[in-house]
Structure 1
Amino acid sequence: MSRLSEQFLLVLTTLWIGAMWSIGYIVAPTLFSMLGDRMLAGNVAGRLFAIVGWIGIGASVYVLGFLLMRQGWRAFRSWIFWLVVVMLLTTLASQFGIQPLMAQMKADAWPREVMDTVMRGRFATWHGISSVLYLVQSALGLLLILGTRKLLGR
């Protein structure tokens, strides 16, 4: 593989995991603590999580392609390959399953905040599931960063 594709792999994984950690553990909590309007904070955070999701989808497709091009069929025996597959699947589940479901609950609650309606418990459950998936992705991201260093011999 070319040195450029290896460097792009490092930049892309840094962007992906760095964005995930920054948005999830710094920006979103800051929004909720500083903005008086929880609905606005939730909408902004949701939009940022969607952006991180798209970055994750693109980055994971590149990483999987990189591994397949570099290792061929042996990539399927690589723990890094399966780690990225799990990260991609959890991202897809969140992006196209959980997030749209939560957005629909918010829309159905309008003009009130979803937490002020009978959907409160259901929304809280899905928010909790989403948070756990995000935490799993974040931990797997650490393994990906360490594994990428090993993969490239650094």
Structure 2
Amino acid sequence: MHAGAQRLFILIAGVWVGSILAVGYLVAPTIFSTLTDRQVAGMVAGSIFKAEAYLSATVCIVLMVLANLLVTRGLGHYKTIRLILLGMLLCSVAAVFVFIPWMNTLRDQALLHGMPVMLSPSADLFGKLHGASSIVFTIQSALGIYLVWRLTKPV
């Protein structure tokens, strides 16, 4: 039973972390290099990052529940895994409840005034939020790589 649960855990974590890396380091840059309108590219990328953030929060919670189950069944090395997942969950929560809504509000306000956000009075704040969210995403990516690394370590 433990082996099957661990394999499922590793499969879910691997696919999830792969999706994070694909979105952040393949899909988003491709959108910006393909679309000539940066405002449209930003809106498309923002929608994809929003979906990824919600997916990440959901998968992270599921994996934390499964990790708790594995710990109670005597697999103590999942205690560290839970801490990594907690860090990743905090990154997702920051994206879902802070960065994405705030940036969307700034973008919508600019559009109401007939201008792209980067030409609006909120451009500086938007840029800072984008930078901070990029740092949080990078931290989440690094934690995800570390998670998969730890999960594939022989016990």
Provide TM-score, normalisation by structure 1: 0.90
Aligned partner of residue 78 in structure 1, secondary structure: helix
Structure 2: gaps of 5 or more residues: none
What's the CA shift string for 1:93-118, capped at 9, x where partnerless? 11111100000000000031100111
Structure 1: gaps of 5 or more residues: none
- Cα offset, 1:3, TM superposition: 4.4
Q: What is aligned with 1:127? A: 130
Q: What is aligned with 1:112? A: 115
Distance 2:65 2:34 in 1: 41
Q: What is aligned with 2:27? A: 27
Q: 1:129 to 1:51 in 2, by over 3 A?
A: same
Q: What is aligned with 1:54? A: 54
- Cα offset, 1:75, TM superposition: 5.9
Distance 1:97 1:75 in 2: 34
* AA of the residue aligned to 2:140: Q
* AA of the residue aligned to 1:9: F
- The alignment's C-alpha RMSD in Å is 2.1
Distance 1:148 1:46 in 2: 30
- Please tell me whether the aligned partners of residues 16 and 52 of structure 1 are also in contact (alpha carbons under 8 angstroms): no
Q: 1:28 to 1:112 in 2, by over 3 A?
A: same
Aligned partner of residue 115 in structure 2, secondary structure: coil
Q: What is aligned with 1:94? A: 95
Q: What is aligned with 2:151? A: 148
Distance 2:44 2:67 in 1: 34
- Cα offset, 1:149, TM superposition: 1.6
Moved more, 48-57 or 67-76: 67-76
Aligned partner of residue 118 in structure 1, secondary structure: coil
* AA of the residue aligned to 2:83: W
Choose from 137, 140, 143 the match for 2:140: 137
Distance 2:151 2:48 in 1: 25
What is the percent sequence identity of the aligned residues? 28
Q: 1:61 to 1:76 in 2, by over 3 A?
A: farther
Q: What is aligned with 1:16? A: 16
How many residues align? The count is 152
